[in-house]
Structure 1
Amino acid sequence: MGCRMSELVVGPMLRYVDSASASIWVETSEPSRVDVHAGGTRGEAETFTVHGHHYAVVDLHDLPAGAVPYTVTLNGQEVWPPPGGRAGVIRTMPEAGPRRVVFGSCRTSVPHDEAHTATHGIDMLRAYGRRMADQPVEEWPDLLLLLGDQVYADEPTAGVLEFIRSRRRPGEEPVDEVADFEEYAEIYRQAWTDPDVRWFLSTVPSSMIFDDHDLRDDWNTSATWRAEMAKVPWWPRRVVAGLGAYWIYQHLGNLAPAERAKDQLYAALTAEPGDGAALLDEFAKRADEEPSSMRWSYARDLGPHRLIMLDTRAARSLTPGDRRMVDAGEWEWFAEQVAGARSMENLLIGSSIPVLLPEGIHHVESWNEALCDGAWGAAAARLSERFRQAFDLEHWAGFRRSFDELTRMLARCGTRVLLLSGDVHYSYLARLRAGSVYQLVCSPIRNPLGRVLRLANIVAGFGLATVGGWSLARLARVPRPPYRWRIDHGPWFHNSVAVIDLRGRPVVTWEGPGEGESSGLVALHRVALGK
């Protein structure tokens, strides 16, 4: 390997952490030997290359308890912390489990100037990182969960659009959308390299799962959608690039070192002396065409708590008349993870899309699914499919078999269940009237709805709309849900992040922008969960 000067392009990102080990993810400008030093502990790895980009995941073992600053060197040159900047910190997971877990979804990475703050509000991820810098380490969260739409490939920011247009002919499709791996690499770079966001991601361990905008709006909403997209000339390249980039930028860091060591693609890429683009693209193509070939979902035990991050996009079974949010193989794996959590204090399930919606919206989605499956004839089915795609009627309620099976399973699982979701661009807390099942929704981190859409969601989901939605569902002979639920708190439409304090009885706090707060964050809503 040559000794050209290498720089950090993205990262370092602190990803998987347990009670004694940690994994640091980086992208570098040149092929590099990456060394990470944390106190007396050292880890190293050589980068691997795909599509001309260079990546490494460095594992550190036998770490001491407490907060340990770390440095990163590339080919012997120290590149982190940046000159005059703050060092990232590694904190191992407490044996008793995480004290605080932060979660949220839906973040656009527009600039932080006055004009964009007026249209998009404060970036809660950035604001949280800024406040942490002034807090004692003991008040920092132990884990960050990003529940989808980490990037918007179909709605790029002005900075990404400038990059796209610089390498395309005018009018070349897809117009003003991400097309290939190079453009995905750029959208991730712009999303994760603001200095405050970068420090936050270098210091707080993170676990992630995708939602539709990481690929494209309505991704896998139905078999009809897939058939329509298959006819679009640029889509095959886009989905291969999107899944390949997700594997690199998000999925790799979700894995424990032992799990990553068993990953065949990772082994092949790290053994490949050249560019492994063909290997990555072949994997991504198969993952799209044969969803059962890849399980994006994963589970972790965090002391007395179990976390399941569930893929509710790529694992769908879209057979009309027998739609499933996750296919049979994925469901069997998920059921085993839930059954194994019976003795846990809390079961946290990350589902990018909410399970328990406002009842009015729930009934409309179930009604729409029945019509798409032919309850009112072929003409109504075609119209209902357009309605499904136009209004995003694809949550668990739009996969009623899966919704019914899931709520029955969770109501009987014997432990407290916290369903963590985003997607809908507002936040709320709902409770199932069976078992101890809570739906916690926090969205967006930075992508608020306009006033008209806020009003439309309130009208559609609450009040008389509940009766109207149920009436439509009954006319289509949709059965009643197994259990009732209600929205106990919310909805709230501001940008926010949610913090779950797991010490004893869980307390959930939604934090958002405050008037005159230099930190940009105040506790807006706080709810203690029941037993």
Structure 2
Amino acid sequence: MSARLRLGPMLRHVSDTTATVWVETGAPGRVEVIAGEQTAWSDTFTVHGHHYALCDVTGLAPGSAVAYEVRLDGEVVWPEPSSPYPPSLLCTVDHEAPARIVFGSCHTPTDHSPSAVLHYGVDMLRAFALRLVDDRRSPGSRAAGDDGAGVQRTGGDLGGGEPDLLLMVGDQVYADELQPAMRAFVQARREEAGDGDAGPPPDEVVFYDEYAELYRQAWSDPDIRWLMSTVPTLMIFDDHDIRDDWNTSGAWQRMMAERPWWGPRVTSGLGAYWVYQHLGNLSPAARAADPVLAEIRAHGGDAAELVDAFAWRTHTRPASYRWNYRYDIGRNRIVVMDTRCSRDVADDSMRSILGGDGYAWLDEQLTGDVDHLVIASTLPFLMPMGVHYMEAWNEAVCAGAWGRLARRPAERLRQRIDLEHWPAFQRSFKAVGDSVLSVASGERGAAPATILFLGGDVHFSYLTRALPVDSEVRRLAARTRIVQLVCSPTCNWMQPTLRRLMWVSVRSVTGLVFRLIARSAGVRPPALRWAVDDGPWYDNALATVTLDGRDAEVQWEHSPIMKRTLEELGPGQAVRPKIRRLTKFRLTG
């Protein structure tokens, strides 16, 4: 086979009648996606010698699942010859059916060997893929016939149980925590290119070619690759997609700016994110209106300089580009927020986690007249109360609440133990909280049944419900459940010391102690009150939110494996994980 895919295909944005397929190819060419009677094509565009295409298949039936193939210059490159997997399907939205949203964050690629599972745990994306393979092979559950004719997913062939969306909320790749294969690639590439003399860290990616390989290794696992070819997937970055603690504070930004390799690093990271993750988040209409993509298409040839200039511009002028996006499914609205690139942290007394333009955009999306309002942020909005007040206290001290001499040690503490979540941006926290309460109170249209915050990042999962502190607001918002759902990681681990600290942080007495300490720094109590209702859980997990009319529920799933089972495996063997329910929680009623 002369033509080949380097990565993909990935099923990205879907609507009731359209589906976008993203690919990276080994050479320039024309990419075609053929699904039943529908065909879409696109010529590749090139960035730093890598070739990409996005094909928008239109004219699909709502709620359908249609087998598809990918051709490059007329040659079939997907499905691969003798593929052991069921056909990849283009799965469209049925706005009248229940919506199932699977989400999680923090994924480290591994080889699934016993040693890797002992260290990182079971890769939940792989486990989820294997279960979906089994489901599609079950008698009567096949979603498309051999002739590729589409059928309704909601009418019995799949039993209505497949996910409508896989939402990956941060740390899809770890640019600063490399696996052995990636470290070997970086070393070999820099020796060949002579980049090692510039002083970039040997255990982190810096250049675009390295980011391209990082994504390839992260998404080339056969099971995960098949999963992403057949389940609509949306994404948003967190810090490790660029670098740990990205934009924590003004002091952090100034420290990084002094490192000669930081400019190439953030340029490559944001450019690669735009290509590998962000473009697929957009609807065909939004992508057609993207000025960067339009410039690349008009340019022809290798668009490396255009993408680099765009990426550097978004780094130095975050308001110049919007990474946020909105996705509607039925009468449910999903709002996905950038809480990293758009931060304004130059002045410790005027910090914003969204930036001024980011908050204005978000506030426009926070309205009623929907059944469920889902706000996805890589960072949990409602942290355990002890952590909330610790981070709020630290922000105040860094801004001078305890005097000038306390600011520097407070900044060191902020960076050392990652005190940079929503509570460390009290102005932003209050603004979003006030907007949410106005929605729940019916001031912006009919109040939704739930307002759900989805988050990740913290390497443990939990659920917490919130209530307004003010009794009158609580009466007006009584019909809306405000809930924080956190699912993290999908494949990673937490250091034992941090796990013990997290255990302490969820205790009621910890919240009380840090509330008193924060009050001494001038921190005001929030307009919401909450406590961790369920969790924390430290296993790798995926969570599924099901929205059915005005009803909603969530369940977390994991894949526990005994150490003895791993020790009994022979050389080269990998365990085939089974998924079990961790917990299930009804969010309404």
User: TM-score under structure 1 normalisation?
Assistant: 0.97
Say how many residue pairs are matched.
Answer: 526
More displaced, 17-26 or 318-327?
318-327
Distance 1:261 1:424 in 2: 35
Report the counterpart of residue 77 of structure 1 in structure 2: 75
State the AA in 1 paired with 2:169: L
Q: Are 1:46 and 2:49 an aligned pair?
A: no
Q: 1:457 aligns with which of 486, 498, 502?
A: 502
User: Does the aligned pair in 2 maintain the 1:218–1:392 contact within 8 Å?
Assistant: yes
Q: 2:204 aligns with which of 152, 159, 177?
A: 177
Residues 354-385 of structure 1 show CA distances to partners (whole Å, capped at 9, x for unaligned) of: 01000001000000000000011122101101
User: Does the aligned pair in 2 maintain the 1:129–1:196 contact within 8 Å?
Assistant: yes
Distance 2:100 2:82 in 1: 29
Residues 292-313 of structure 1 show CA distances to partners (whole Å, capped at 9, x for unaligned) of: 0000001122110001000001
Distance 2:493 2:438 in 1: 36
Report the counterpart of residue 340 of structure 2 in structure 1: 313
Distance 1:467 1:331 in 2: 30
Distance 1:343 1:463 in 2: 36
Residues 232-280 of structure 1 show CA distances to partners (whole Å, capped at 9, x for unaligned) of: 1100000000000000000000000000101111112123221000000
Distance 1:433 1:279 in 2: 48
Report the counterpart of residue 452 of structure 2 in structure 1: 418
Distance 1:118 1:55 in 2: 36
User: Does the aligned pair in 2 maintain the 1:286–1:293 contact within 8 Å?
Assistant: yes
Residues 131-184 of structure 1 show CA distances to partners (whole Å, capped at 9, x for unaligned) of: 001113332101010000000001111111110011225784222100110000
Per the TM alignment, residue 407 of structure 1 is displaced from its structure 2 partner at its CA by 1.3
Q: Are 1:162 and 2:184 an aligned pair?
A: yes
What pairs up with 1:103-502 in 2 under 5 angstroms?
Answer: 103-135=103-135, 136=141, 137=158, 138-169=160-191, 172-318=199-345, 319-339=347-367, 342-413=368-439, 414-415=447-448, 416-434=450-468, 435=477, 436-502=481-547
Helix, strand or coil at the partner of 1:355: coil
Per the TM alignment, residue 327 of structure 1 is displaced from its structure 2 partner at its CA by 1.5
Per the TM alignment, residue 425 of structure 1 is displaced from its structure 2 partner at its CA by 0.3
Helix, strand or coil at the partner of 1:306: strand
Per the TM alignment, residue 515 of structure 1 is displaced from its structure 2 partner at its CA by 4.8
Helix, strand or coil at the partner of 2:166: strand
Helix, strand or coil at the partner of 1:412: helix
Per the TM alignment, residue 317 of structure 1 is displaced from its structure 2 partner at its CA by 1.4
Report the counterpart of residue 147 of structure 2 in structure 1: none
Distance 1:217 1:266 in 2: 28
Helix, strand or coil at the partner of 1:321: coil
Helix, strand or coil at the partner of 2:52: strand
Per the TM alignment, residue 97 of structure 1 is displaced from its structure 2 partner at its CA by 5.6
Q: Are 1:520 and 2:578 an aligned pair?
A: yes
Report the counterpart of residue 14 of structure 1 in structure 2: 11
Describe the shift of the 1:59–1:98 C-alpha distance in structure 2 as closer, same or farther (beyond 3 A).
farther
Helix, strand or coil at the partner of 1:20: coil
User: Does the aligned pair in 2 maintain the 1:110–1:158 contact within 8 Å?
Assistant: no
Helix, strand or coil at the partner of 2:366: helix
Helix, strand or coil at the partner of 1:502: strand
User: Does the aligned pair in 2 maintain the 1:5–1:30 contact within 8 Å?
Assistant: no
User: Does the aligned pair in 2 maintain the 1:510–1:523 contact within 8 Å?
Assistant: yes
State the AA in 1 paired with 2:297: T
Describe the shift of the 1:369–1:343 C-alpha distance in structure 2 as closer, same or farther (beyond 3 A).
same
Helix, strand or coil at the partner of 1:167: helix
State the AA in 2 paired with 1:49: T
More displaced, 469-478 or 510-519?
510-519
Unaligned runs of 5+ in 2: 136-140, 142-157, 440-446, 469-476, 563-574
Report the counterpart of residue 444 of structure 2 in structure 1: none
Per the TM alignment, residue 96 of structure 1 is displaced from its structure 2 partner at its CA by 2.0
Report the counterpart of residue 53 of structure 2 in structure 1: 56
Helix, strand or coil at the partner of 2:93: coil
Deviation >3 Å, runs of 4+? 169-172, 514-519
User: Does the aligned pair in 1 maintain the 2:47–2:302 contact within 8 Å?
Assistant: yes
Residues 177-227 of structure 1 show CA distances to partners (whole Å, capped at 9, x for unaligned) of: 001100000010000011110010000001110000000011011111111
Helix, strand or coil at the partner of 1:168: helix
Per the TM alignment, residue 519 of structure 1 is displaced from its structure 2 partner at its CA by 4.3
User: Does the aligned pair in 2 maintain the 1:23–1:60 contact within 8 Å?
Assistant: yes
State the AA in 1 paired with 2:579: L
Describe the shift of the 1:467–1:204 C-alpha distance in structure 2 as closer, same or farther (beyond 3 A).
same
Helix, strand or coil at the partner of 1:72: strand
Helix, strand or coil at the partner of 1:64: coil
Residues 61-101 of structure 1 show CA distances to partners (whole Å, capped at 9, x for unaligned) of: 00134211100000111010011213311111112265211
Per the TM alignment, residue 471 of structure 1 is displaced from its structure 2 partner at its CA by 1.7
State the AA in 2 paired with 1:432: A
User: Does the aligned pair in 2 maintain the 1:15–1:25 contact within 8 Å?
Assistant: yes
State the AA in 2 paired with 1:14: L
More displaced, 195-204 or 430-439?
430-439
Helix, strand or coil at the partner of 1:361: helix
User: Does the aligned pair in 1 maintain the 2:186–2:202 contact within 8 Å?
Assistant: no
More displaced, 407-416 or 372-381?
407-416
Q: State the identity %.
A: 45
Report the counterpart of residue 90 of structure 1 in structure 2: 90
Distance 1:439 1:394 in 2: 18
Distance 1:302 1:56 in 2: 26
Distance 2:212 2:188 in 1: 15
User: Does the aligned pair in 1 maintain the 2:31–2:41 contact within 8 Å?
Assistant: yes
Per the TM alignment, residue 320 of structure 1 is displaced from its structure 2 partner at its CA by 1.6
State the AA in 1 paired with 2:415: Q
Aligned CA RMSD, in angstroms, stands at 1.4
User: Does the aligned pair in 1 maintain the 2:506–2:532 contact within 8 Å?
Assistant: no
Report the counterpart of residue 68 of structure 1 in structure 2: 66
Describe the shift of the 1:97–1:152 C-alpha distance in structure 2 as closer, same or farther (beyond 3 A).
farther
User: Does the aligned pair in 1 maintain the 2:170–2:236 contact within 8 Å?
Assistant: yes
Distance 2:289 2:382 in 1: 36
Distance 1:167 1:519 in 2: 35
More displaced, 197-206 or 433-442?
433-442
